Amino acid sequence: MTPAKIPVVVIVVLAVTAVVLGGGGKSVTLTLERASHEGAELSQLRDRDLIRHGRILQQRPPGVVDLPVEGTYDPFLVGLYFTRVQLGTPPKEFYVQIDTGSDVLWVSCNSCNGCPKSSGLKIQLEFFDPSSSSTASLISCSDQRCALGAESSDSSCSNQNQCGYKFQYGDGSGASGYYVSDLMSFNTIVGDSSTSNSSAPVVFGCSTSQTGDLTKSDRAVDGIFGFGQQGLSVISQLFSQGVAPNAFSHCLKGDNGGGGILVLGQIVEPNIVYTPLVPSQPHYNINLQSISVNGQKLSIDPSVFATSTNRGTIIDSGTTLAYLAEEAYDPFVAAITQAVSPSVRPLLSKGNNCYLTTSSISGVFPSVSLNFAGGASMILKPEDYLLQQNSIGGAAVWCIGFQKIQGSGLTIFGDLVLKDKIVVYDLAGQQIGWADYDCSLFVNVSTTTSTGKTEFFNAGEIDNSSSPCDHYNLVPTALLAFLLHVLFFGVFTFL
């Protein structure tokens, strides 16, 4: 049902004089302006009010949002990482794949065509029903947020004035449906170490049709959680409301148990190195400049990795393996083969470059260095570019997990490379950082304010084995500096 438009007459600009004692006893006059909502829809006004109410009630910096992680990179086990989100009123939980290569959060909706009804991951699949949530509202074509959807998908409008979408993914699968606004519930931990059950209105997709691999039940989840930068990404929406920082981080465990850490916030670790994001790109593009094997730089033209219409290097947690641009693949494989120990026997297995060995791969395979702009390097151990396939006569068969896409100039680093590392997406600073890390250990976190200013907290330890509510212990050391600033300058800033 389409929400009715209501005419809103805006007649006042309300001026209020408030006396705030500053340095020297001076007063500051504050002018409050009531924004125009002419032509706005009821659902838009309600969502804006919910956002405003949250700010009135909280009056505190954005908190760290903790999300659970399940799954593993291993394609022979799961081949993806996923998290859980709660949507609607009352909240209903959905399992969604963690995907930094797309922007929108979507879940399967009732009456979905092609949506799997069971999962080989031993999880209970759910379907979202807007009519069963007291806070759900449909997004119309005239809604400003529908225009944001065009940044991330083939936005479409039905005869019922309903904002729809159609996503096509790189593996040929697809999803289509319509946009809904509803509450997302989550735990936030703020600077005073307190944990609160929070919620915020977000726009997400309600999928009524799925195609390709998304229809298969072996690795089925309820949807996809896009962590991209566009306006309809949950990251952007929560940041614009002042609910969460303009950054997120993950640490994906690579062992068979999988899991890991996912936070809306910036993990702080001394060994993290950063490289700038390529500006104005739809994905997380970074500048790969060269590849070294055992310290020897490969003879690959740097232009092979340069970002252009059909080229570039992308970080994508929704990709299981890794892919090299066609011109870089053969030199990479040749260098690995040349550097391996003489005890290792190369072989082809189902078209893949593989090796037969009875030794531990850490002692017989070379290290690889991916060298990025700004002097940041990502060092890959053998297990970061090899996958064990099977064994022959007591010897293990290890195959290169880096693949080549014929005719493609894209280089994509997926979970095979990203696992066992802290990866920080600092969107305020437009950079990505990483460091090798045991993702079962504790991490420190900082937050970023809605103005883009980073306020570092003396972050405590996040214990991945504990419950999500016990992960954080944040102490707002930046609060003291802020109070001193106010006392000295006598200035308050009102949003």
Q: Which residues are catalytic?
A: 99, 316
Structure tokens at 278: 């390529």
Q: Minimal CA–CA distance to 294: which of 166, 180, 382?
A: 382
> For tokens 């040929």, what's the residue?
172
Q: Strands across the sheet with 386-392, in order?
A: 345-349, 352-357, 395-400, 386-392
| Sheet-wide strand order for 377-380 | 296-297, 288-293, 368-372, 377-380
**Residue 111: left (phi > 0), alpha (psi -120 to 50), or beta?**
left
Are 454 and 448 in contact by the 8 Å Cβ rule? The answer is yes
Could you tell me how far CA 47 lies from the centroid of its own chain? 23
CA distances from 460 to 174, 264, 392, 433 (A): 41, 16, 48, 20
> Checking DSSP bridges between strand 266-268 and strand 444-448, what pairing results, if any?
antiparallel
**Virtual torsion, Cα 214, 254, 305, 313, nearest 10 deg:** 50
CB 62 within 8 A of CB 478: no
DSSP class per residue in 402-461? EEE-TT-EEEEE-HHHHTTEEEEEETTTTEEEEEE--TTS--EEEEE-TTS-EE--EE--
- Determine the Cα–Cα distance for residues 399 and 361; give it in Å rounded to an integer: 11
The dihedral sign for the CA sequence 301, 307, 310, 313: positive
Residue that is written with structure tokens 């290569």 in the block: 101
* Nearest residue to 165 via CA among 182, 146, 191: 146
* Side-chain half-sphere CA neighbours of 443 within 13 A: 32
3-state class of 50 per DSSP? helix
* Phi and psi angles of residue 104, each rounded to the nearest 5 degrees, phi first: -100, 145
Q: What dihedral do alpha carbons 97, 100, 103, 109 form, nearest 10°? A: 0
Nearest of 400, 443, 399, 402 to residue 421 by alpha carbon: 443
Give me the residues paired with residue 30 across strands: 16
Structure tokens at 218: 């072996």
Q: Residue 73 in contact with residue 61, Cβ under 8 Å?
A: no
In 3-state terms, what secondary structure has residue 262? strand
